[in-house]
């Protein structure tokens, strides 16, 4: 389990549930370092005093608010806490809504909530109440000096606190050129709609996230291994010919034919089993190759 992000309590009416907040997601990125292309030495990140040009040690860095030009007031961790003690220590439940009412655009970052000492009973009570009613709790919480709107959601045995974007953070669709709802005006026939629905139904399967994998990361690792084997570790690949782009405003010549072909093949091109197979074949191969890379570096 990663390091705890926050400790406090869920305020549920007059009930307080002591909880600890843990990240529920983690990025899986390829670890690439910045290099100087002249000698391929690593490029470090330094925090420099803008007045003297000297490097500043991490222990000497504090946060400050510029209240006049060049004049700052120092703001420390205790100032953040004392600004509103209750807000920094409480997941304050404001209301309950149907889970399906929150559009996906609003969801941001998930966190697990673990009950604190002697909080198991009220934790379980709140979790089961949300589960049985089909509701999620809307709450506010202060994390890392910023207040967030959040949704409290029961997920299996856990309560998950998923931070939400505020309404003014979600960009409106009004600036986009989107097709209207009238499919007849767009030239979509009833037969085409029926075939599209059949295609979707033919691809329905249970949600199993473990069968999907970032196959692009594996392909990139294979490319890196290829450069190592070829002795081209310091060769900067130049851009090749640009990929052909679809013509602006281009239309599908025969939508019906493409739908029929997709139904006949059972799965449209671009959604092949490569992504799933990557969890086994490509994943194992890439893992072995990465192990080989580490051994050579060692």
Tell how far CA 66 is from the center of its chain: 33
Strands 71-75, 107-115: pairing is unpaired
Per-residue pLDDT reduced to its tens digit, 97-133:
998 999 999 999 999 999 998 899 999 999 999 999 9
Nearest residue to 161 via CA among 148, 170, 169, 152: 152
Q: What CATH number did the domain enclosing 102 receive? A: 2.40.290.10
Q: Is residue 130 part of a domain?
A: yes
User: What's the pLDDT at 39?
Assistant: 80
Per-residue pLDDT reduced to its tens digit, 72-83:
888 887 887 777
Same domain? 214 vs 267: yes
Q: Is residue 181 part of a domain?
A: no
Same domain? 143 vs 18: yes
Q: Is residue 36 part of a domain?
A: no
Look at 248 and 204; give whichever has higher pLDDT: 204
User: What's the pLDDT at 143?
Assistant: 87
Q: Is residue 63 part of a domain?
A: no
Please state the rounded mean pLDDT for residues 283-296. 44
Same domain? 259 vs 116: no
Same domain? 142 vs 10: yes
The pLDDT > 70 percentage for the chain reads 83
For residue 2, name the pLDDT band (cuts at 50, 70, 90): confident
Look at 54 and 96; give whichever has higher pLDDT: 96
Reply yes or no on whether the pLDDT at 252 is more than 90.
Answer: no
Look at 197 and 78; give whichever has higher pLDDT: 197
Q: Which two tokens stand for residue 11?
A: 């305020």
Q: Which two tokens stand for residue 240?
A: 């090749």
Same domain? 198 vs 97: no
Q: Is residue 102 part of a domain?
A: yes
Q: Is residue 117 part of a domain?
A: yes
When divided into structural domains, the chain yields a total of 2
The residue segments making up the domain with residue 272 are 190-202+210-233+253-297
Query: What average pLDDT is seen over the chain?
Result: 80
Per-residue pLDDT reduced to its tens digit, 140-187:
998 877 899 999 999 999 999 999 999 999 988 887 888 998 988 888
Same domain? 198 vs 292: yes
User: What's the pLDDT at 284?
Assistant: 46
Q: How far is CA 193 from CA 187, 198, 204, 267, in A?
A: 11, 9, 17, 17
Q: Which two tokens stand for residue 50?
A: 């803008």
Same domain? 150 vs 197: no
Same domain? 10 vs 156: yes
Q: Is residue 180 part of a domain?
A: no
Tell me the C-alpha distance between 14 and 34, whole Å. Answer: 52
Q: Is residue 51 part of a domain?
A: no
Same domain? 10 vs 85: yes
Reply yes or no on whether the pLDDT at 286 is more than 50.
Answer: no
Same domain? 215 vs 153: no
Reply yes or no on whether the pLDDT at 250 is more than 80.
Answer: no
Same domain? 267 vs 134: no
- Identify any residues that bridge with 139 across adjacent strands, giving them in sequence order: 93, 150
User: What's the pLDDT at 159?
Assistant: 96
Tell how far CA 222 is from the center of its chain: 25
Given a contact cutoff of 8 angstroms between Cβ atoms, the answer to whether 148 and 141 are in contact is: yes
- pTM equals 0.71
- Identify any residues that bridge with 110 across adjacent strands, giving them in sequence order: 162
Among the ranges given (33-47, 132-146, 252-266), the one the predictor scored with the smallest mean pLDDT: 252-266
User: What's the pLDDT at 217?
Assistant: 83
Same domain? 21 vs 112: yes
For residue 240, name the pLDDT band (cuts at 50, 70, 90): low
Strands 90-98, 107-115: pairing is unpaired
């Amino acid at each position: 389990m990663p390091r705890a992000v926050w400790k406090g309590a869920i305020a549920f009416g007059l009930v307080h549930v002591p909880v600890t907040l843990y990240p529920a997601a983690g990025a899986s990125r390829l670890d690439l370092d910045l290099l100087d292309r002249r000698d391929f030495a690593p490029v470090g990140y330094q925090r420099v005093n803008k007045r003297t040009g000297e490097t500043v040690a991490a222990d000497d860095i504090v946060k400050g608010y510029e209240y006049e030009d060049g004049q700052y007031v120092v703001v420390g961790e205790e100032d953040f806490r004392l600004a509103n003690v209750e807000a920094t220590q409480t997941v304050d439940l404001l209301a309950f809504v149907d889970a399906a009412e929150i559009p996906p655009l609003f969801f941001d970052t998930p966190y697990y909530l673990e009950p604190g000492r002697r909080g198991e009973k009220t934790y379980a009570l709140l979790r089961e109440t949300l589960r049985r009613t089909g509701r999620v709790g809307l709450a506010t919480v202060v994390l890392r000096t910023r207040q967030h709107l959040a949704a409290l959601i029961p997920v299996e045995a856990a309560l998950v606190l998923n931070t939400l974007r505020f309404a003014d953070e979600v960009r409106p669709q009004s600036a986009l050129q989107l097709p209207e709802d009238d499919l007849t005006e767009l030239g979509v026939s009833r037969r085409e709609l029926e075939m599209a629905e059949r295609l979707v139904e033919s691809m329905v399967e249970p949600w199993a996230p473990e069968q999907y994998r970032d196959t692009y990361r594996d392909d990139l690792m294979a490319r890196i291994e290829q450069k190592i084997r070829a002795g081209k570790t310091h060769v900067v690949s130049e851009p090749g010919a640009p990929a052909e782009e679809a013509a602006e405003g281009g239309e599908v010549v025969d939508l019906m034919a493409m739908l029929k072909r997709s139904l006949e093949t059972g799965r449209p091109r671009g959604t092949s089993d490569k992504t799933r197979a990557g969890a086994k074949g490509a994943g194992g191969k890439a893992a072995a190759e990465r192990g080989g890379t580490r051994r050579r570096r060692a």
